[in-house]
Amino acid sequence: MKVLLVYANPLASSLNGKIKSVVEESLVSSGHEIDVIDLYADRFDPVLTMEKQKAYFETTFRRGNLAADCANWLMYAEGLVFVFPAWSMGTPAILKGFLIGCLVLMFRSA
């Protein structure tokens, strides 16, 4: 099975970092093919800038950023695993920006 692991925590030494490592090891040892997206290590930018907002309405769609790659990974994954802390009773902003950015790109390219 092709599994996409999305990790959203800036500290590799955190509890979430340990959980990510255990999940990775378990998936690989079970024979799964995995892709890992580490949003902080990849320096994913969740901010919707004025330029990005304007690009949503252009007639020519440009896919030159990390969110485009991530959208492709999401479309081809057979399983998804998210590892992130619950901050202020919700997901980190970087993960929200990632998911919204990927969903917009997935629907724009369909």
Report the alpha-carbon distance of residue 97 to residue 102 in Å, rounded: 8
Q: How far apart are CA 46 and CA 39, in angstroms?
A: 9
Using alpha carbons, select from 25, 30, 33 the residue that is nearest to residue 79. 33
41-67: per-residue pLDDT in tens?
A: 999 888 877 876 776 665 555 555 555
Q: Of the candidates 38, 34, 37, which has an alpha carbon nearest to the alpha carbon of residue 9?
A: 38
- Which CATH code, of 3.40.50.920, 3.60.150.10, 1.10.1740.10, 3.40.50.360, is assigned to 2-109? 3.40.50.360
The pLDDT assigned to 3 comes to 95
The pLDDT confidence band at residue 21, using thresholds 50, 70 and 90, is very high
Q: What is the mean pLDDT of the chain?
A: 83
**pLDDT per position as a tens digit, 66-95:** 556 666 777 788 999 999 999 888 899 899
Query: How far apart are alpha carbons 101 and 95 in whole angstroms?
Result: 10
How large is the angle between the packed helices 93-109 and 66-76, nearest 10 degrees?
70
